[in-house]
Amino acid sequence: MYRASLYLIAGWSGFFVMGLELLGGRLLAPFFGSSIYVWGAIIAMFMLALSLGYLAGGRASLSRPSLRRLALILLVAAASSLPVLLFGDALLERISAWVPDPRFGSLLAAALLFLLPTAVSGMVSPYAVRLLVADATSSGHNAGKLYFVSTFGSAAGTLLTSFYLVLYLEVNQILLCMLAVSVLLSLAAWLVNGSGDP
């Protein structure tokens, strides 16, 4: 149960990041277009955020790591993407008026809207690796499995969002659903940790 929640959270976090990235492209397009610059800016910002998140996640795992804290990270990632829902369009309107250049405008917009939720999501994988690893001999194996789950989740998030979800739901509805899943998973993980299962 304990290990299953770790894998589940890592997989979901991968899904969440790629879902957010694809929807980010859709949210920015009305303001900056969908030229190669806009996608370049979005991808660069997500990669930068993930890299910072990995660093922060590894660091956070040094002091008293627990499943509950991991659940908290997932919750914070969800909460920090709320501004996208609440005032994404208003912010994009302002930025596009202020920096109309599609390169730097979209870079700034992607930084303000997606840097935080993506960086916090990036903390999940290294943190989960720490919780999985019992000894030095199995650490590579465990890390490999975790990266598999997390990146597989990313692939699923990319495909499901772009092939199916956008056909049935509005962008903000998809975001809300993803937030709901994050909250539910955090709660579940919180309870698992409390049930005494090591």
Partner 1 sequence: MRALALALLLALAPAAAWADPPLIHSERSLYRQVFVYGDGDTRCLCFTRECKIGRQSCIFVKQPDRLMFEYTQMMLGALLLDPDPHSILIIGLGGGTLPRTLGKLLPSADIDVVEIDPAVVRVAEQYFDYRPDAHQHVFEEDGRAFVRRMLRTDQRYPLIMLDAYDNQYIPEHLLTREFLEQVKSLLAPNGIVAANTFSSSRLYQNESVTYRAVFGAFYNLKSANRVILASNAPLPSVTQARRNADRYDAAFTALGFRPNSILSLFDTGIDWDPKARVLTDQYSPANLLNSTDRQ
Kindly compute the dihedral angle of the four CA atoms of residues 143, 39, 56, 134, in this order, to the nearest 10 degrees: -10
What's the longest Cα–Cα distance across the chain?
55
Q: What is the pattern of x (binds partner 1, CB under 8 A) and - over residues 92-131?
A: ----xx--x-x-----------------------------
Under a CB-based contact definition with an 8 Å cutoff, are residues 193 and 66 in contact?
A: yes
**85 contributes a contact to partner 1 by CB under 8 A:** no
61: three-class secondary structure by DSSP: coil
Chain residues 1-30 in contact with partner 1, contact rule CB under 8 A: 26, 29-30
* 38/73 with CB nearer partner 1: 38
**69 contributes a contact to partner 1 by CB under 8 A:** no
| Binding residue (CB under 8 A) for partner 1 from 171, 178, 179, 185 | 171
* Cα–Cα distance, 149 to 152 (Å, whole number): 5
* Cα–Cα distance, 189 to 166 (Å, whole number): 29
Under a CB-based contact definition with an 8 Å cutoff, are residues 16 and 76 in contact?
A: no
Burial class (CB in 10 A: 0-12, 13-18, 19+), 90: exposed
Total of chain residues touching partner 1, rule CB under 8 A: 22
**82 contributes a contact to partner 1 by CB under 8 A:** no
**62 contributes a contact to partner 1 by CB under 8 A:** no
**170 contributes a contact to partner 1 by CB under 8 A:** yes
Q: Which residues bind partner 1 (CB under 8 A)?
A: 26, 29-36, 38, 96-97, 100, 102, 163, 166-167, 169-173
